[in-house]
Amino acid sequence: MPRNVTEHTYTTEEIKVSDLDIDRRVQRDGLKKKKVENMVRRYNPDALGVIHVSRRRTEGGVVLGHFVIDGWHRMEASRITTENTGSLVCHVYEGLTLADEAQMFLDLNYGDQPTALDKHKVRVTGGDEQALRIEEAVNKYGWKISPVPNNGHVNAIIKLYSLDELSQKIEAEPDLISVTFLVISRAWGVNRHGSQAVILEAIGRLFAEHSSKIDVPYLIERLKIYPGGPEALHTEAARLASITKGKVSMAVADLITRWYNKSLPNNSKRSLPNWSKRS
């Protein structure tokens, strides 16, 4: 279990908001606009509490800046209300590594949890082994983990962690995330509909179940010509799941299995067993 870095000693200082910095590597992906607006509307400097700050220095001791670990929204509300002239009471930590700052961000936000994507980003910054493994598996096929729903972006971070845990449990080789992204990338490019959680889970579970029995190049070629591509696959799976009362991801796995077997001769040794799982 990682040590709780909030046990580091600190000094209490008043620092101008204009002297506070943000490092996105140890922060959320962005501010919650409504939250800031509410703080500005009800602005009360006495109710802002204490901001947690890391004072970074060069090896020679020169101050590089004061980076907010916890309190970004409050800092922004103060900056707007005071037109960047106000100051905030800060707990100032010195000597923290980037990993320490990342862990402190998670510790201090335990009761106001960042999104799963925010937490993943901070875990990557902190050098977390699982987060780095997931990041590498996704990035090597040209994808990026991001909350923005664009082509080439993956939003389904919770599903990636689930697949990674399953992959480690069964000692999959290659790992489930890598082979899943190999398949969707070769079949559909970086079409964002191909990286939906239900499709990632379906393909990952297929490989977990059938392992080396799946002919990967053949599966890719079949998915390339799936009518309507990944978007249609998802729509059809949702319809099937509503009938079978199962999970949409399992319906995707069922449809892929049927499509994989469709062009093979009856009783072919290459065919996959019928997919019957619902959860």
Predicted model pTM: 0.67
Cα–Cα distance, 207 to 183 (Å, whole number): 11
pLDDT for position 276: 87
Examine the domain organization and report whether 133 and 257 are in the same domain. yes
| 247 domain-assigned | yes
Q: pLDDT confidence of 113, banded at 50, 70, 90? A: low
For 138-147, how does the pLDDT look when each residue is reduced to its tens digit (9 = 90+)?
999 999 998 8
Residue type, 263: S
| 123 domain-assigned | no
For residue 1, pLDDT over 50 is answered with: no
pLDDT for position 3: 45
Q: Say which DSSP state 195 is in.
A: G
Examine the domain organization and report whether 240 and 174 are in the same domain. yes
Q: pLDDT confidence of 6, banded at 50, 70, 90? A: very low
Examine the domain organization and report whether 132 and 258 are in the same domain. yes
Cα–Cα distance, 69 to 58 (Å, whole number): 19
pLDDT for position 111: 57
Cα–Cα distance, 91 to 149 (Å, whole number): 37
pLDDT for position 107: 81
| 269 domain-assigned | no
Examine the domain organization and report whether 241 and 135 are in the same domain. yes
Examine the domain organization and report whether 48 and 97 are in the same domain. yes
Examine the domain organization and report whether 81 and 169 are in the same domain. no
Examine the domain organization and report whether 104 and 153 are in the same domain. no
Examine the domain organization and report whether 53 and 74 are in the same domain. yes
| 121 domain-assigned | no
pLDDT for position 234: 95
Examine the domain organization and report whether 110 and 189 are in the same domain. no
Q: Which of 105-109, 148-152, 168-172 has the highest mean pLDDT?
A: 168-172
For 34-75, how does the pLDDT look when each residue is reduced to its tens digit (9 = 90+)?
889 988 988 888 778 889 999 999 989 899 999 999 889 999
Examine the domain organization and report whether 140 and 251 are in the same domain. yes
Burial of 205 (0-12, 13-18, 19+ CB in 10 A): buried
| 193 domain-assigned | yes
How many folded domains does the chain comprise? Answer: 2
Cα–Cα distance, 46 to 27 (Å, whole number): 24
Average pLDDT of the residues of the chain: 90
**Residue 96 belongs to domain spanning:** 5-115
Examine the domain organization and report whether 99 and 77 are in the same domain. yes
Pick the residue with more confidence: 3 or 84? 84
Torsion of CA 178, 250, 154, 159, to 10 degrees: -80
Cα–Cα distance, 81 to 47 (Å, whole number): 14
Residue 104 CA, chain-centre distance (Å), reads 19
Backbone angle region of 134, left / alpha / beta, with phi > 0 → left and psi within -120 to 50 → alpha: alpha
Examine the domain organization and report whether 133 and 247 are in the same domain. yes
